Amino acid sequence: MEASATIVAVASPPGHALRGIVRLSGPDALEICGLPVDARAGVVRCVLPWSGMPALAVVSRAPRSFTGEDCVELLLPGHPALLDEAVRSCIERGARGAEPGEFAARSWLNGKRSIDEAEGIAMAIAATSDAQLRAAQRLQQGEAAQAVNAIRDSVATLLALVEAGIDFTDQEDVVAIGGVALADRLEPIVANLRALHATPVAGALEQPLPWIVLAGPPNAGKSSLFNALLGHERTVASPHAGTTRDAVPEPMSVGGQEAMLVDAPGIESPRSALDAAMQEQARQAMARASLIVRCVPPGDELPAAAPHELVVLTKMDDGGIAPPGTIATSAQRGHGLDALRAELATRLGFTQASASAEGAALLPRHRAAIDASIVELQSAATLARAGRAALPDAELVAAHLRAGLDALGSIGGSVTPDDVIGLVFARFCVGK
C-alpha cells in the first residue's frame, strides 16, 4: 500500500441511485479534478476536465480531512457506468485505484484515527444486525480504550512506585513500596482485567442471529404479519397469492434482543420452474430456522406443530378464541401481536436485554492483550509477595509491570518511560 500517491474510488453504495460519490485523497486530488490548487475547503461547482460535465465537489484540505490529506468528493449522478468512467478518468490523469480500506488506513497513518476507530469502520461495513452496528459505533468511540484506561493508570502508578524505590532511594522523601503492599494492590487490578476479559463480545460476528421464519400456504397473511411485527412496510402485502417470491429477511427486536424475521414464499405444489424456485427458497429458509411460525388463515385446518414450530392464526380481524397452543392475531387491527412477540422471546430463550448485556466492544486482539497483561501482572505479584516487606527483586518486578503495561497500551495507548517518571515526580519531592 504505497501511501504517497493520490487514490480514487467510488465511495457510494453499488447500484443505481440519485447521487453517487467518487472520492480522491492525496497531494494531486485537486489538480486531477481540475480544481485550483489553492481552492478553499467547502462545496464548489466545477466542470470535469475529462468530460466537460458540471459537477459538485466537496473539498477538504489537509490536515483537516478524514485522511489528513487533500480530499475531493465528486457528487455525480448515481449511474454505475458514469461513476466507473469518472474513476477511470482520474486514474488516467495520475491517480491510483484505492485498495480496500486504504482511505481509513491513511487516516490512521496520518494520526486522524486510532486503530480501534479504523477497525470500527470495518466492523460497521460487515455488520448484519443493529447490535453489530452499535458495537462498531462503540468501538469507533474508543470504548475498548476507556475500559482499560483506569486499569492502565493504576499499573503505571505502581510501576512508578517500584522504579522510585530503584532509582531514587538516596532521596529522603522516597519510601520504596513493600512486596506485600504491591501484591495486595495488584490483586484487584488483575481481578478487574479478568472480569473485563469475561465480558461477552458486543455484536460478535461469529454468532449469527436466530431465524424466525413465517411459513404457510399462499395468501395466508404472512406478509401482513411480517410488516406488523416489524412496525413498518417491508414487503408487499396483497390479497393475490404468490406476491412473495423470495425469502425476505429483516432484523427485529424480540425480548430486547435481535432475531432475523423471514417472510417465506407460500408453500404449495409448484406448477412452473418459477414456482419450484420459490418453494426451494421457502425450504431453505425453514431448514435454517431456529423457530418456524406456521401461519394459518381462517377456515384452514390447524397443522401439527413440531417442537421448534409455533402455530399462529392470522387474519382474525373479528376476534375469536385461539385453541390451546396457538395465538390468534390480526395484522390489520394489531390484535395478538404483543402476545406473539412474548411467545417468540420465550421460545428462543430470550430475556429482556439491558445495555450492559450487549457486552463490551472488544476485538480478539484486545482479549489477547488483556491475557498477556494478566500473565505479567500475576508474575509481578508473585515475586513481590515472596519478598514480603522488602522488594529484593525490584528490577524484575518492574520488568513484569512494564510488560503488562505495554500490553494494555496496545488497547488504550502506550505509557512511555517519561510518563512513568512524570508520575514519580508528581508523587514525591525528589531532589528538593
Q: What proportion of the chain, given as a percentage, has pLDDT over 90?
A: 35
Q: Helical H runs in 244-387? A: 273-288, 337-348, 364-386
Tell me whether residue 251 is in a domain: yes
Collapsing DSSP to helix, strand or coil, 110 comes out as coil
Domain holding 404: CATH number? Answer: 1.20.120.430
Q: Are strands 96-97 and 211-215 parallel, antiparallel or unpaired?
A: unpaired
pLDDT at 282 over 80: yes
Phi, psi of 321 (to 5 degrees): -95, 130
pLDDT of residue 413: 58
- Residue 284's pLDDT band (cuts 50, 70, 90): confident
Per the CB < 8 A criterion, the answer to whether 220 and 266 are in contact is yes
Among 348, 369, 403, the domain-final residue is 348
Tell me whether residue 30 is in a domain: yes
* pTM for this prediction: 0.52
Written as nine digits, the cell of 362 is 472488544
Query: Quick one: 243 and 336 in the same domain?
Result: yes
Q: Of 39, 34, 38, 72, nearest to 50 (Cα)? A: 34
Among 36-45, 61-70, 100-109, which stretch is predicted with the lowest mean pLDDT? 100-109
pLDDT tens, residue by residue, 173-188: 555 688 899 999 999 9
Among 67, 84, 109, the domain-final residue is 109
pLDDT of residue 164: 79
Domain holding 85: CATH number? Answer: 3.30.1360.120
Residue range(s) defining the domain that contains residue 237: 211-348
Q: Which amino acid would we find at residue 190? A: V
Tell me whether residue 353 is in a domain: no
